[in-house]
Amino acid sequence: MCEEEFYGMPLIGDPFPEIKVTTTHGKINLPNDYAGKWFVLFSHPGDFTPVCTTEFVGFAKRAQQLKDLNCELIGLSIDQVFSHIKWVQWIEENLGVKIPFPIIADNGRLAEMLGMIHPNKGANTVRAVFVVDANGIIRLILYYPQEIGRKLDEVVRVVKALQFTDKNKVAAPADWPDNEIIGDKVIMPPPTTVDDAEKRLKDEKLECKDWWFCYKKVE
């Protein structure tokens, strides 16, 4: 349930909308209650469903990895809070995994505002992922259909990649840190002048395929 109103689906680079929600851990003000922290907000189609159950177990097992990155998890579906509570109890009792993160009980409004409900895929939320940085800015958005579970290690990877590229002012290649061409090296931002392009090819700290494709090792 959400109490504030905002209009227009947020996009990458936008501030996450300020909104109050009801969760299994009580009322939460997003993004203000997470000021100074990253968070991953993910939606699931429904409680007591098999694919969602496998995802929640997987997210729970990766929660500490994300905490170590100063990043918290938040779940969401349009089920009521008592359904969330009973479901996480079932997971702990039957699968031996405690769900450590809050789950938002949404009435459908927040999910619609965040683009989590796709009418041609039914009335439930699709599997959306919003990665929000410590300044409350949306950095990444992913969508999966209801019938396909997410690759949860990818969620951890993208948080690591965003934080690493922010810190070092670089870009991450495909499958970083295991790229097929440059391994765990990272890509330099493109040069903005002819002089910069020529200097790059002479920079001993860089490896270059060409002036526009330079990379380096960053520890």
44 touches 52 (CB < 8 A)? yes
10 touches 110 (CB < 8 A)? no
Adjacency order of strands within the sheet including 207-210: 186-187, 213-216, 207-210
52 tagged catalytic: yes
Catalytic residue among 2, 52, 71, 214: 52
Looking only at the bridges linking them, the beta strands covering 71-77 and 38-43 are parallel
Q: Tokens 């931002």 correspond to what residue?
A: 189
CA separation for the pair 142, 102 (Å, rounded): 20
Paired tokens of 5: 């109103």
CA separation for the pair 176, 140 (Å, rounded): 16
Calculate the alpha carbon distances from 187 to 139, 159, 190 in Å: 19, 17, 9
Rg, the chain, Cα only: 20
| Beta bridge pairs of residue 75 | 42, 103
Local structure of 29: helix, strand or coil: strand
Catalytic center residues = 52
